[in-house]
Amino acid sequence: MINPEFLITHHGADARLLTLAEMRRIYQDTHYKNLYLKYAQPRSSGDFPDIAYHILVASDGWGYARDLDVEGYHASNYPVNMNSYGICISGNYDVMTLSPTMENYYREAVAEIRKNTPSLKFCNGHRAYAKKSCPGGRITNEFIKEVFETSIKKPSSQKAKAHIGEALLDLQKAINEL
């Protein structure tokens, strides 16, 4: 896949918060049986299992689940799949609320993928492409867009100057203590 423009957010729709290892194991099995054997889908090179999503956000962090250069099968819409990355957050956000820890992992994952993929211009929940609530009613479109938009903002020059000033003061203190 070259220069995807969309980042599509999903939830696992499982009532449990899974670890990365659990998500990989469960999704590798179910996605292989339900998607790759049923449809002729592109396969990863072998570095990652054949999971429909590119990125997983789990209870113990986030990680890549599929080669970024291979389109996934996550949006229930083939043209969108050809031009997007899929990110899946563990949990069912029709009934659960995103915890601060899970929100932080999601923000980190979005920031990392945006930093490395400047072609990304749009974000949506899976529900924009399918008759589903995914990524759950408690993860709003506004939240998804806010995370997407703020993930690449650089600190203002005033904040950067203050941070540099604090760092210089810390360095001066360390030198004085020698």
- Separation CA 121–CA 141 (nearest Å): 15
Most confident of 3-7, 51-55, 67-71: 3-7
Specify whether the backbone of 176 is left (phi greater than 0), alpha (psi in -120 to 50) or beta.
Answer: alpha
Fold of 6-177: Lysozyme-like (3.40.80)
Which residue has better confidence, 27 or 136?
A: 136
Contact 146, 29 (CB under 8 A): no
65-70 — which CB contacts under 8 Å span 24+ positions?
Answer: 65/23, 65/24, 65/27, 68/1, 68/117, 69/1, 69/2, 70/1, 70/42, 70/43, 70/44, 70/45
* Confidence category of residue 92, pLDDT binned at 50, 70, 90: very high
Structural domain boundaries of the chain?
Answer: 6-177
- At 128, is the pLDDT very low, low, confident or very high (cuts 50, 70, 90)? very high
Q: How many residues does the chain have?
A: 178
Reported confidence tier of residue 158, pLDDT bands at 50, 70, 90: very low
